[in-house]
Structure 1
Amino acid sequence: MKNSFLIFLFISLSFCAQNLPKEFVYLETIDASIKSELRYLSKNNFIGKPIDGYKNNCVIVTNETAKTLKKIQQLLSKKGFGLKIFDAYRPQQAVNHFVRWAKVLQDTLMKSAYYPNVPKSELFKQGYIASKSGHSRGSTVDLTLINLNTGKELDMGSPYDFFGEKSHPFSKNITKKQRENRMLLRNIMLANGFKPYENEWWHFTLKNEPFSNTYFNFPVK
């Protein structure tokens, strides 16, 4: 069993390999059981194109963030749930890509799926796009919960990266069960040292992040 895990880890890291800055790690080296689907590596995101700086499906975070996520994963697994990461460390070049896109008001390819009720001109004002992101500091994660038996994501009432009131953690436009699912994620993240973002149910930042004022720009690969 141990040899199988080492082979899996070697194969994974052969695709995700670079000299990371000190205190950064590939999450799979700390806990390979945490699932991931980096949306910005694909066209399945609010822009509709792969985002600058994303080269491989590699979850990169600070070491302290990784260790805390491992602890949370272990706690969740006892209840039959697990974590799934949509985004973690995000290079500044990706944030710059978002900013450039946000200024081209006629580019609304994914509006119906991701921001149907918010004018693109309002995305900055309403806090969905910014020139700097906590993700670039390495201790912020966008994530959801999955059922370990089925592998399916829990119903959170709105998709990841949906820009609108329905994505606010305490939105009234969701069902009781959807709210319970959000609170399950929120409560375990808060209980283990993460702080939430009030516009997005999926967004959490480690309270004692090691790089609170440093924004990195190395690629995700």
Structure 2
Amino acid sequence: MTRLSTAVRGLVTAIAALLTATAASAPARAEPEPKAPEDFVALRSVDPTIIEEIRYFTPHNFVGERIDGYRQPLCILTRPAARALHAAQSRLLSQGYSLKVYDCYRPQRAVDHFVRWAEDLDDQAMKDEFYPDVDKSRLFADGYIAEKSGHSRGSTVDLTLVKLPARPTRPYRPGQPLTPCFAPEDERFPDNSVDMGTGYDCFDTLSHTLDPRVRGQQRAHRLLLKDTLEDLGFVNLAEEWWHYTFKPEPHPDTYFDFPVSRASLTGRR
């Protein structure tokens, strides 16, 4: 009886060891990607006439490569922000302009990508265009890069104006010569938007919406965008002429991390 019990215990031990080894060697199951809340929508579903040029899906940005979390070139926003943009677009179309969005909802993983890039002081591939007069070691201190972004809350958008009919924009080719983002319009990277005085994501004080050095048509364009959006509930970030947040925000304290893709908007709970 003792001999049989010993054999059974040995068999149980062997089976347990086999199961443990099998579990250890089995590939870990990937965690399902988070989904967008029900009140997030694709901007195109609210207003398909607004031009979308999602820069962080492309390598033409201050990092120089596609940013983490941008699976598709898609503008996603909370429904109230998207509806307010639709109202702004209706007003601007009657004046011969269209809105063009560069960035909308931004996942936290994208912000984390920015932080990693900013901490790598040796990577300055895009400096000549996006931050020619700023030492990269100052990007955090000067407020150009932060560990959290209002974009991740879903009601913030980066955008500009395009005079209609819209001209095509020449695609960016990685490795091509770069020109400072505050150079005269005919020297900067070509964009089919109106002249705002600097390019998008220009890390320079000339990007401040009401910088007194920006005059004439450039200032008029900034004020047209500002006045139109603020009349519909958006608030401008004074340091960036392109940055607006719809108020009140549906999610003022939540920083989401679902990817920028149509799949994030399907099968939501």
- Fold-level match, TM-score > 0.5? yes
Pairing 1:215–2:255 present: yes
Number of paired residues? Answer: 204
**Deviation string for 1:145-175 (max 9, x for gaps)?**
0012244311000000000011111123334
| Aligned equivalent of 2:99, options 51, 76, 83 | 83
**Deviation string for 1:82-135 (max 9, x for gaps)?**
100000000000000000110111111000100001111111111111000000
2:213 is matched with which residue? 173
Tell whether the 8 Å contact from 2:35 to 2:258 is kept in structure 1 after alignment. no
| Aligned equivalent of 1:64, options 56, 61, 80 | 80
1:194 is matched with which residue? 234
**Deviation string for 1:40-97 (max 9, x for gaps)?**
0010000101100001111100000111000000011110111000000000000000
1:52 is matched with which residue? 68
Which is higher, the Rg of structure 1 or of structure 2? Answer: 2
Tell whether the 8 Å contact from 2:54 to 2:102 is kept in structure 1 after alignment. yes
Residue type at the aligned position of 2:114: F
1:93 is matched with which residue? 109
2:30 is matched with which residue? none
User: Which has more strand, going by share of residues?
Assistant: 1
1:114 is matched with which residue? 130
Residue type at the aligned position of 1:81: Y
| TM-score where L is the length of structure 1 | 0.90
Write the distance in 2 (CA, Å) between the matches of 1:193 and 1:125: 30
Q: Which structure 1 segments of 5+ residues have no match?
A: 1-17
Pairing 1:154–2:194 present: yes
| Aligned equivalent of 1:73, options 79, 83, 89 | 89
Residue type at the aligned position of 1:68: A
Write the distance in 2 (CA, Å) between the matches of 1:148 and 1:93: 35
2:160 is matched with which residue? 144
The offset of 1:20, in angstroms, is 3.2
| TM-score where L is the length of structure 2 | 0.74
Moved over 6 A (4+): none
Write the distance in 2 (CA, Å) between the matches of 1:98 and 1:73: 30
Percent identity (aligned): 48
Q: Which structure 2 segments of 5+ residues have no match?
A: 1-33, 168-191, 262-269
Write the distance in 2 (CA, Å) between the matches of 1:212 and 1:96: 19
Write the distance in 2 (CA, Å) between the matches of 1:19 and 1:100: 25
SS of structure 1 residue aligned to 2:236: strand
Pairing 1:204–2:244 present: yes
